[in-house]
Amino acid sequence: MTLTENISRFSQCRVLVVGDLMIDHYVWGEVDRISPEAPVQVVNVRSEEDTLGGCGNVVNNIVALGGSVAVAGVVGSGRYGQLLIERLRTLGVDVEGVIREPERPTTRKTRIFASNQHVVRIDRESRERVSKETLEKLAAEAEKKLPASDVVLISDYGKGVVTRELLRRICDCARKHGKITIADPKGMDFAKYSGVDVLTPNKKEAGLAAAIDISDDDTLHNAGEKLLDSLAIEMLLVTCGKDGMVLFKRGARPYRIPAKARQVYEVSGAGDTVAAVLGLAVAAGANLRDAAALANTAAGVVVGKVGTATLSQKELEAAFKPSGDRTVSKYKQFHDLPVLVQELRKKGKKIVLTNGCFDLLHAGHVMLFSASKQLGDVLFVATDDDDSVRALKGPGRPVIQARERVRVLCALDSVDYVVIFSSGRLKDLIRTIRPDVLTKGSNYDSEEVAGRELVETLGGRVALVPISEDTSSTRIISNIRNTMD
């Protein structure tokens, strides 16, 4: 089975996630002065958001990739505990295993970004072990959900939920039902993870647990072999950031999986993506080498996004495409747009939108796209679907079907993203993308541009791009037909 075939089977997989549930709170702002009260930056807040963190981000990644999830964890009884449960339910997650502990705060991490730079993090949490009563409820729920799951992911953030007792009960139950357990560890004492099938520390964690200063491949291999020898685990996958991953298995030589170089915006949550993809791939029937390769590639995608991020099956599949074929990564469906636009806004990108039939691409279109791109950072091209073109242009149109038009548009360097839309949904498209600039050719009058009022209401503007070429798709098609006649 190929890697992409494994990805396509993610939607058939059921995963049990056990661990520390958190809220990741993001504050986005700008800095233009120093406080007169102390030598610190003053952040003018422009937006805030709450997302699922900790093992909640593992859950979020699994759902984004099409998998089904049951989660077992602990939250407080306050409003953030309720918020967390509501967010999980919105994703369609089984939350019967989420236990409320009255006196316990829901872990909340606030990250403050100024001009797209992470400047400070504020933690609100308890690291005390959960009560015996909570532990019993949690273990019982995990044992109940485990038989129907394909794999168990244990995400330990050291907040007192993943205890030796809980791990022992989960591992015993997993062995009884023939399920694989994968644990993302925390802390220096790895002995409590004895019994899991796969352990996934990062290089720093592995070095501390093995009491070896990892400085090169030899010391890394020594640390990996020492952990395998001292722990009752089958395999060890050490994540090494920009250097990829190394897989250790009893009786086999260490296997390195290199990483692709990518621009890094934020590394928080990359380990959660690794755990999610590793678990899904194993559940889909992949061997651990292939599963690790998929997880490694997925992590490379999410570190290029701002904040605690996820990725879709399509994004993961696109990451395995040759770098010259950008069609898959540029083409977006309507439901992909909200998350994509949010990411672009976080990075401070100025968005330009242009739309049309683009039935037969010609020099005027190329000039339009090139000039539009110069008005911002990112250019979205929205092309009408086949029914819309037919309604607008009449019988015999489109000459080129929408999917082929997309491939041609995606081949242009000036075009960043392409979406197919129905002309009746133009306002929905504008509301979703909220373009800073909507462009049309100068053969239009600004008052005639469909969607102009909505764009301006949303704070954008319409720009008419000078087009000197006196040509159109309709005229070209008519000339071809006349020549054939």
In the numeric block, the tokens 């964890």 are attached to: 73
Alpha helices in 146-269 (DSSP H): 164-176, 203-210, 217-230
Written as six digits, the tokens of 441 are 């050719």
Amino acid at 309: A
Helix (H) or strand (E) holding 419: strand 417-421
Helix (H) or strand (E) holding 386: helix 386-393
Locate 439 and state its tokens.
């462009």
Sort 361 into a burial class: Cβ within 10 Å, 0-12 / 13-18 / 19+: middle
Three-state secondary structure of 398-441: CCCCHHHHHHHHHCCCCCCEEEEECHHHHHHHHHHHCCCEEEEE
Closest CA to 53 of 117, 108, 124: 108
Using the 8-state DSSP alphabet, how is residue 115 labeled? T
- How many CB atoms sit inside 10 A of residue 450's CB? 15
Q: Which of 24, 272, 385, 386 is catalytic?
A: 272
Helices 270-283 and 55-64: crossing angle, nearest 10°?
50
Give me the half-sphere count of Cα atoms (radius 13 Å) on the Cβ side of residue 324. Answer: 0
The residue type found at 476 is I
Task: Compute, in degrees rounded to 10, the torsion defined by CA atoms 50, 13, 161, 195.
Answer: -150
Q: How far apart are CA 445 and CA 269, in angstroms?
A: 48
385 is catalytic: no
Q: Tokens 């489109």 belong to which residue?
A: 398
Please identify every residue annotated as catalytic.
Answer: 272
